[in-house]
Structure 1
Amino acid sequence: GVVYNQSGDERKAEYFLRKALLEKPNDSQATIILAQILNRIGDKEKALTLLSNAVARKNNDVNLMRRYAEYLSNEDPLLAISEFEKISNLDPDNTNIAYMLALLHLSQGNENSAKAILKTIKNNSQKSNDTQFYLGNIAESEGHVTKAILHYSKVESGQKYLLAQERLINLFRETSSYDAVIKYLHSERKTKPNYAKNLYQIESNLLLSIDKKHEAYNLLTEALSIFPKDVNLLYMRSMSADGRETFNKMEADLRSILDLDFSNPTALNALGYSMLIYTDRTNEAYDLIKKAYDLNPSDPATIDSLGWAHFKLGNIQDALYFLRRAYQLNKDAEIAAHLGEVLWSLEKREEAVKVISGSYKEYPKNDTLIKTIRRLNLNIESES
């Protein structure tokens, strides 16, 4: 059975493993492998029943109990918690079991139970970064900002490091000056060069969020001197040059991305849409957007761009078709502004006002929406 499983013949593997279990019903390895096969072929209930019966027969087999609890995690989290607690009582020093139990408690909203477990394993070298991250999450949800910062700052590496940095930056912005946040990020870049590129991105996102486009552009130029031809950095720098007066810089970076990846739908759409709103190169913009759409026809932003390009070209019915599609997929403020303007141009005034006013209530500071309201001379701003 094991050999057939390794060769990928699941039906034969199942047959021989069942045969082996008839002779040795307490064979844990055969039980676990058979459960894996049943799960792979879609018989989850049979896999759970098999493991449940095996655990009932061998109620102190930690490995078997763990497999059963892991399978239960998605199907029945509360029962999984009960099973992991039994394992933890049998093997109290098992950090992995404690960690999985804590995450299950978190998934069920049992923050106090999760916190108590995480505190017992936070100094374990293998789980330290992850446990500190989740302790930070809990402290943040409880409103303990200082404690949250302390926990997040102890995440030194691993998968949770960058997430912890993003959370830290948000908390620092609440409690510290902008200069202190920048100083912290500079320090992290020096001490953790492996994460430097990502930290540049985090800092540039921060700068863009407070409308410091020029500073973000300079920072990303510095980053690109260290990581040349990095597509993510090039794209971010293009966004920091988003504007009519700086469109040439934006276009240069987006074309650099397309030189590296000529079928990048995000770059094609960004270049086409920016060209559409900042220049009179409407036909060229349409071609770029159409190519992006052909590559990614379900993306709401690209569908919106295509609809707006049709509007600029005078294809009003095509514009309405694509903008309705985009709006159905994503009721973004910019999409609402475009759809509203097309509806207005077609004398569908009541529907236009409904779309625009509904979006304005949700996004009262959106620049495109505000400009559309003023261009159409609507009274929505004064009413809200």
Structure 2
Amino acid sequence: MRHYVEMPCRSLVAARRRGARPLAAALAFAAVSAWAQGAVATSPPAPPEVRNSALDAPLFYQLLIGEIEARQGQPGAAYQVILDAARRSRDELLFRRAVEIALQARAGEEALTATRAWRTALPRSQEALRTELQILSAMNRLDQAAEPLRALLAAATPAERSGIIAAVPGFLQRAADPARGARLVEEVLAPYLETPATRVAAQIAIGRARLTAGDGTRALELARQAHAADPAAQAPVLLALELLPSRPEAEPIVTDYAARPDAEPALLLLYARALTSTQRYAEALRQLETVTRRKPDLAPPYLTLGALHLELRHAAQGEAALRRYLELTEPAAAPASAASAAASGGGEDDRSHAPAQGRVQAWLMLAASAEQRGDYAAAERWLARVDAPERALEVQTRRASMLARQGRVDDARRLLLAMPGSEPKDLRARLDAEASMLRGVKRWKEAYEVMGQALKLQPDDPELLYEQSMLAEKLGRIDEMERLLRRVIELKPDNAHAYNALGYSLADRGQRLPEARDLIARALELAPGDPFITDSLGWVEFRLGNRARALELLQRAYASRPDAEIAAHLGEVLWADGRQDEARRVWAEARSRDADNEVLVETLKRLKVRP
């Protein structure tokens, strides 16, 4: 619901609807006809019994006049006419229309008057109560919301009540004072905490309201209580997932539920996505594999599963998962796919979206994987399937990358330069793609020059500055790298990657180690749990001589993200600790996934360890 500005009634009469859709006279007749049809009941025997509609001639013309007034930009007159008709007919559809006219004119008082007239005429109408609550919230009149909220709950049947309790925070979500709204929710729902049938719903509703008000401690406490009361309930898990970014201690609620054999796949998918967002890929994989094992015909998990496997350099598993996703989303598989979408709550696998989004994404990932394997013909076959203009630059960038890998860098650059578009954003996108292609074949100097052209277009773009800093580091221009990273931090103080890159660079060169630790610690505050930042902190601790702490951090990072660079650092700490067999095992695992990783290759060479 939009935030509506109150208007006196006299202003409403003169107000004109802003942004109202055109309403042809035929639509006015159609609206009246729809109302009339709703008032006519027929019985099945033939000939059907005919009952006269409650729509008499005066009421018909009254509704017609009201709709014409609305169409002609006279919402005040339309409101008065429709509300009068609603009162006379006691029809819910007409009360709803009167409220709609008032809201479109941003007249909160009149919308509230209509809902209260609606309640008077139809005391058992739950829709009237819900509408009144939403309007009171938008007008920030929470002091008046307790009565309709209690009435709504009292009017519900026992079977409906838990669902309505769960919806209570949503009625007040637009309140200007969330803390006040949370107190209201807690006050109104207090009696329902005493009843076993509604206790969990009330705990979660209060917890959600508290979370909206910024009270994560209370929200977590209520989520724990609700989960303990009903370990199979999904609502406490959803609240815990919302809490995870700021309250990692909510995770045991999720993991406890995820271990259940009857865990809902949609919740496991949400958990996997939460893990992916913090780069806990190994754990995310386990959740996705659980879902695909229990629901092998559910399509969405395979797309994420494929992406994660490819990110972790598991090419065969990644491609297999993506092929399975494509198989399940083929047009011929529509019935199974529809069931799949329903089971997962819709989303990626909806038939109207999968071909344009999920399938295109799968094709592009399969092309990238084939390119990594050196199978350029297969990569081109996947790219040829993509018929999405908005992904054209991505497709051409992939093709340019393949040309560059085959030594045809000039051809690759010409391909990107031929892309259409003369706007600055188009030029920036092409330059970014060209720099990315050159980085892929380690043409650092040329990539640096191209990125410099992009920076001339947008000299204070934090992303471009960060990329240029990484290229400066590759060229050995350490002072420039530091200057660029400090500029990124100045422009975007919450950029965790800039703090981490600067701190890691200092640590790797053994310089200003206390400062390096402070920078990396700040990065970890901004991105808690990030395995690459945890790796950086472990590396600086090793450089500082804190071997035990370094080992703890690096093992945690590697368990979360078994990346070759993290493996190089972990193996070196194990090697220095005299645990050479463990170090060799870690390095062997890393080489099996990414044998060409520069940090891994350099580490093994420096320590004189034979592969």
Q: TM-score range by the shorter chain?
A: 0.5 to 0.7
Kindly state the Cα deviation for residue 270 of structure 1 after the two structures are TM-superposed. 0.5
Deviation of the 1:328 alpha carbon: 1.4
Q: Quick one: distance in 1 between partners of 2:583 and 2:359?
A: 48
Structure 1 residues 158-237: aligned runs within 5 Å: 161-162=390-391, 164-174=392-402, 177-188=408-419, 190-191=421-422, 193-237=424-468
Distance 1:344 1:139 in 2: 42
CA contact (8 A) 2:416 2:434 kept: yes
Residues 181-228 of structure 1, C-alpha deviation per residue, up to 9 Å, x if partnerless? Answer: 322322336445444434433332221111111111111111111112
Query: Which residue of the partner structure matches residue 155 of structure 1?
Result: 388
TM-score, with normalisation over the residues of structure 2?
0.42
Pick from 564, 572, 575: which aligns with 1:341? 572
Q: Which runs of 5+ in 2 are unaligned?
A: 1-125, 135-147, 171-200, 205-232, 235-265, 268-294, 300-323, 335-351, 368-376
Report deviation, 1:12.
6.4
Q: How many Å apart are 1:268 and its aligned residue?
A: 0.2
| Structure-1 separation of matches of 2:523 and 2:559 | 19
Are residues 189 and 282 of structure 1, via their aligned partners in 2, closer, same or farther at CA, if it must alter by over 3 Å?
farther
Q: TM-score, normalised by structure 1?
A: 0.63
The higher radius of gyration belongs to 2
Q: Residue 101 of structure 1 aligns with which residue?
A: none
Q: In structure 2, what is the equivalent of residue 92 of structure 1? A: none
Partner in structure 2 of residue 274 of structure 1: 505
Post-superposition CA distance 1:110-168 (Å, at most 9, x none): 425379xxxxxxxxxxxx9996777867877797766765664x533xxxx24x43233
Gaps of 5+ in 1: 22-33, 45-73, 81-104, 116-127
Structure 1 residue 334: deviation in Å? 1.3
What code does the residue aligned with 1:360 have? R
Q: Is the 8 A contact 2:567 2:586 kept in 1?
A: yes
Deviation at 1:279, TM superposition (A): 5.7
Q: Choose from 310, 326, 332 the match for 1:113.
A: 332
Residues 186 and 281 (structure 1), Cα distance of their counterparts in 2 relative to 1, 3 Å cut:
same
Question: Equivalent residue for 1:285?
Answer: 516
Q: Which residue of 2 aligns with 1:261?
A: 492
**Number of equivalent positions:** 301
Alpha-carbon offset, residue 340 of structure 1: 1.1
Structure with the bigger RCO (C-alpha within 8 Å, sep 6+) is 2
1:295-333 deviations in whole A, cap 9, x for unaligned?
Answer: 333111111111111111111112112111111111111
Alpha-carbon distance in structure 1 between the residues aligned to 2:150 and 2:402? 58
- Residue 303 and residue 148 in structure 1: after superposition, are their counterparts in 2 closer, same or farther (change >3 A)? closer
Contact 1:241–1:247, Cα closer than 8 Å, also in 2: yes
Distance 1:191 1:364, change over 3 A: same
Write 1 or 2 for the structure with the bigger share of helix.
1
Label 1:2 to 1:283 Cα distance change in 2 as closer, same or farther (>3 A): same
SS in 1 for 2:460: coil
Q: 1:279 to 1:216 in 2, by over 3 A?
A: farther
- Cα root mean square deviation, aligned: 4.4
CA contact (8 A) 1:217 1:241 kept: yes
1:295 and 2:526 are equivalent in the alignment:
yes
Distance 1:114 1:182 in 2: 40
Q: Separation in 1 of the partners of 2:298 and 2:516? A: 56
Aligned counterpart, 1:321: 552
Contact 2:326 2:362 in 1 (8 A): no
* Shift in CA distance, 222/2, structure 1 to aligned 2, threshold 3 Å: farther
State the secondary structure of the residue aligned to 1:241: helix
